[in-house]
Chains A and B, each alone.
Chain A
Amino acid sequence: MSSQDFVRSLQGPSAVTTNRAGSGVGWDPILVFTLLLVIGFGLTVLYSALGGQETVFKNQLIRIAAGLVVMMVAAQLSPRFYLRLAPLFYGIAVVLVALVLVVGVKAKGSTRWLEIPGVLRFQPSELLKIAVPMMVAWYFHDRPLPPSFRDLLIGLLILAVPAACIVVQPDLGTSILVACAGGAVILLAGVYWRWLMIAAGALAAAAPALWFTLQDYQKQRILTMFDPQSDPLGAGWNIIQSTTAIGSGGLYGKGLLQGTQSHLDFLPESQTDFIIAVIGEELGFLGVCLLLLLYLVLIGRGLYIASQATQTFSRLLCGALTLTFFVYVFVNIAMVSGMLPVVGVPLPLVSYGGTSALTLLASFGIIMSIHSHRGW
């Protein structure tokens, strides 16, 4: 879908305003079809990247299936339910993420997990990717928009509390994503441009000071992005190998299972965060463009659904979830190609891993719920 089509579809005659709740299964064929394409594409590449680890691949299949079930269930619930649920959901998520700081499980230098030994192990920060925009949208739902300065500050507070909890784990990447999700709501709520400008200006001015609050490894990642060759066997290794993988793929790629960088273990994290490099290497520039196009369709459709919603809460939540999805896509693809520092963001619906796929599919479920209840 090009942007022109998108504009036309926004302005085109839209007679559908009725509440469809209760009349059959609520779903959006365009979203589901495109999602299945992305998932299929992702599984194909993951199969190659896993290099024949059948059980791991089956694991992922089960997770995706579970995610699709969650999505369809989420699509059947009314946005009203989410509106009512929002404060409770947000409250629980914030408590959990605060709990991580006290009793969390430590791995690779940061404390991100809650564990009920033998039963469950999960990252509460993942919940906040949905809970934060939901809560900010809930707050703006029956307030006049564009938001007053006071409402803006309260909105910022809603996103800042959990973001702060996550940043001290430390997990800067997730923290930024959670803040972005909340920020997307504020942006879509129509906050005045001049306030945005002032905020951007202030952030830019504060950047040098922020530098000193970063952990050493975070500074290292930023410096490495500018000059990976400064430490080619250490911090620069990942980014040198990923750009090499992508660049060597050329226009058509080396073919599935033929990537030397990934299959000879030069490329680290090839099944998780760096899987776009496998796509670049094995399916080439065309493969990358195809995936980007599918993502664009999902994003365009998400924004369209948001614009069709009559209720403020639905509109803001749907738009914010869509924008957050884009942020994942952009940050991951940009970081693997060396345009952004390396932060732990998986490639949506493609990278190996259950939590992220579950969260994303749940948010698409919410988007579809909003679509089928646009009149509510």
Chain B
Amino acid sequence: MARTHIKNVALERSQFLSRALFCFAVITVLLLVLVGRYWNLQIAQHETFQTRADDNRIQVQPLAPIRGIIFDRNGIPLADNKAVYTLAIVPEMVPDREALLTELAALVDVTAADIEGFEKRLKRRRRPYSDVALKLALTEQANAVLAVNRHRLPGVTVTRQMVRHYPFGALFAHSVGSVRRINQEDQAKLDPVRYSGSTFMGKRGVEKFYEETLHGEVGYQRVETNAHGRITQVLDVQPAKPGQNITLQLDSRLQIAASAALGDRRGAIVALDTRSGGVLAMVSNPGYDPNPFVTGISQEDYRKLADSRDTPLFNRAVNGQYAPGSTFKPIVGLAGISHGAVTWDETIEDRGWFKLPDQKRIFRDWSWTRENAGGQGKVDLRRAIYRSSNVFFYDLATRMEVDDIARFADQFGIGSRTALDIADASSGLLPNRVWKKGAKGESWYPGDSVNFGIGQGSLLVTPLQLATVSNLIANRGQWVRPRMLLASDAPVTGTTPKEPMPPVIGPKPDDWERMVDAMEDVVHRGRKGYRQNGTAWSHIGRDVAYRMAGKSGTAQVVEILQGEEYDAELLSEYRRKHAWFMAFAPADKPTIAVAVLVENGGGGSSVAAPVAREVLDSYLLPQIAQR
């Protein structure tokens, strides 16, 4: 190799020495920088990081309280709690997700929708090593299968949660109601601490009204968890206080009987204990099974319920508002007696139609037909009730000031919510002059009074309200508000008690007895000949083991035009009239009052009355047999 320079060994050594010293100095400085950095972290900012480390490992976890159980009056649970298991995956612990999902699908039923939901949850921000739910509400069997295979499925977890369960499924869906998932809107209104452990809250029926009482008090535990969220030790526990159990007035045996009596027809039944006002049965048909709403209902199933023309999610018993039809006649009659517009002895001649003076419009009796246009003949108030004479009440209503009738009917709770503890009940509609001016911008016409007299026009009641009317007549004008609650472990909270309702003013005791007698005739007056029998007698009155008072009603859905005839056969099912029947029994000392509505059922006496009788039978016959 060609050399141009000679190596200078001494120079090289001293050169090296100075570089080495320089490097050592730099190294010392850099190590001091490290010392400074660690001083800053470990001494200066120690508190901050200590807190951060504790925040990492110590978590305060809310402990959800067990929801109070709802019993019927016989101690049978209508809403209780059961454990559900959720299958979840810790993605960080799964090397091959596709393979795992395939393997899981072979063990338990994992649907495409489950996987879709899982992928969606996976995209949300989460701390590493936290689990992501794959399938909610595992069956017991699936849970067992997973438990056996757990050891060869790293990253798969199964968590347990107590959720609401409705043993009777659809039967009490509308009366007991149900819980639903707490959504963002609810969260804004709820106490964030009290509900920190809760996923569900009562959103329908009794579950909603007694939410405060049923929910219970949240507890908490301070736990040390590892980065995967798994608890390594529990540091401190404040147990949750379970919600109170409550007992309802509902009688599940009567509910089953009432539901069976209605069958698969659309409609509602409300049965009240006359002495307490307790709701013994409340049926709205069709119902729906609330359980899938707790465990997770598929979009498809939900749409099926929500879009059904039969509106299974709609509670007809308290929110269905219908014209009461002829069931309103006893109120008009008692109003007439109270205001002296009519006496029990007064009669009119019913020719089957009614005309206002100077008007062309003809109001017909229900019994009017082209061939048989004779009317009901001589009619007094009692006969007007059991024959349900329209003409009598057309006439009576026009003889009275509309606001007097309205004010009298108001005492029966029509147009208002009188129930003590029924969530979201509708108030119906009791029209009067002021209302009509406000709502329609029109004056009250005499024709309105004519329709009002037979419970048609703008007047609307709910099945619950009509049951209340029936109950009020059964109690001869003495009020008890309808109620769901029979008893609770401790006083219920979060509800404001309502003032008792004053008795109905106007009718004298004798008037009540006479009205009840007239309503007994509706059912029991039979074998008297043409147009002499009670309207319901031929349908239900032949073999009743007890005295029963009732009144049928048929509510128009579409207005029958002048000159047109009502022909049920020709009208489509959904335009047919609604059938009503209200009843109570035993007539002299009632214990139960009931209202039955069959939507688009047709005649009240022929369709609704048999249902009402079945309900009363199944309540009273066992009692009679016992005696």
Contact = CB atoms under 8 A, between A and B. Distances in A.
Counting contact residues on chain A (CB < 8 A from B), the size range is 35 or more
A154 B177 CA distance: 87
Interface in B292-339: none
B112 to A, nearest CB: 28
A244 B42 CA distance: 9
B128 A247 contact: no
A251 B43 CA distance: 6
B34 A334 contact: yes
A280 B53 CA distance: 13
Interface string B118-148: 0000000111110000000000000000000
A292 B24 contact: no
Nearest to B53: A248
A319 B20 contact: yes
A266 B54 CA distance: 11
A296 B15 CA distance: 22
B50 interface: yes
Interface residues of B, number: 52
Contacts of B542: none
B54 to A, nearest CB: 8
Interface string A282-320: 001100110010011001100100110010100110010
Nearest to A296: B31
A330 B34 contact: yes
Interface stretch (B222-230, B234-242, B383-391): B222-230
Interface string B1-38: 10101111101110111011101110110110011011
B508 to A, nearest CB: 79
Contacts of B39: 285
A307 B56 contact: no
Given A233-B128, A246-B42, A264-B224, A190 B49 contact: no
A352 to B, nearest CB: 19
A146 to B, nearest CB: 7
Given A146-B15, A246-B49, A266-B56, A303 B23 contact: yes
A222 interface: no
B227 A266 contact: yes
Q: Is the interface of B mostly helix, strand, loop or mixed?
A: helix
Contact of A260 (B5, B7, B57, B125): B57
| Best-surrounded residue of B27, B37, B125, B126 (most CB of chain A within 10 A) | B27
A6 B41 CA distance: 30
A296 to B, nearest CB: 6
Given A266-B57, A280-B42, A307 B31 contact: no
A247 B45 contact: yes
A29 to B, nearest CB: 21
Given A188-B23, A264-B227, A319 B16 contact: yes
A363 to B, nearest CB: 16
A246 B34 CA distance: 13
Contact of B46 (A10, A148, A187, A248): A248
Interface string B394-433: 0000000000000000000000000000000000000000
Nearest to A299: B27
A265 B129 contact: yes
B6 A144 contact: yes
B52 interface: yes
A249 B31 contact: no
Interface in A320-342: 323, 326, 330, 333-334, 337, 339
Nearest to B6: A144
Interface in B230-263: 232
B48 interface: yes
B46 A247 contact: yes
B346 to A, nearest CB: 86
B19 A188 contact: yes
A303 B25 CA distance: 11
Given A144-B5, A144-B8, A264-B232, A247 B27 contact: no
A280 B40 CA distance: 12
A261 B126 contact: no
Contact of B35 (A251, A264, A281, A292): A292
A245 interface: yes
A300 B24 contact: yes
Contacts of B21: 7, 10
A106 interface: no
A213 interface: no
Interface in B47-63: 48-50, 52-54, 56-57
A145 interface: yes
Contacts of A261: 53, 56-57
Contacts of A10: 17, 21
B56 A190 contact: no
A143 B35 CA distance: 40
Contact of A323 (B9, B23, B34, B228): B23
A248 B54 CA distance: 9
B53 to A, nearest CB: 4
A250 B50 contact: yes
Given A6-B24, A288-B38, A303-B24, A244 B127 contact: no
Given A146-B15, A237-B128, A248 B50 contact: yes
B604 to A, nearest CB: 66
Contact of B31 (A237, A292, A303, A316): A292
B18 to A, nearest CB: 8
A312 B11 CA distance: 11
A14 interface: no
B35 A142 contact: no
A215 interface: no
B37 A339 contact: yes
A61 B288 CA distance: 68
A243 interface: yes
A244 B38 contact: no
Contacts of A265: 129, 226-228
Contacts of A245: 53
A190 B28 contact: no
Interface of B: 1, 3, 5-9, 11-13, 15-17, 19-21, 23-25, 27-28, 30-31, 34-35, 37-39, 41-43, 45-46, 48-50, 52-54, 56-57, 125-129, 224-228, 232
10 contacts: A7-B21, A244-B49, A244-B56, A248-B50, A251-B43, A264-B227, A289-B35, A319-B20, A330-B31, A334-B37
Interface of A: 3, 6-7, 10, 142-146, 148, 187-188, 190, 233, 237, 241, 243-251, 260-261, 264-266, 280-281, 284-285, 288-289, 292, 295-296, 299-300, 303, 306-307, 310, 312, 315-316, 319, 323, 326, 330, 333-334, 337, 339
Q: Which 4 residue pairs are nearest across A and B when measured between Cβ atoms?
A: A247-B49, A248-B53, A144-B5, A264-B226
Given A187-B23, A306-B16, A330-B34, 14 more contacts: A3-B28, A144-B5, A188-B23, A244-B53, A248-B54, A250-B42, A260-B54, A265-B227, A265-B228, A280-B42, A288-B42, A303-B20, A312-B7, A319-B19
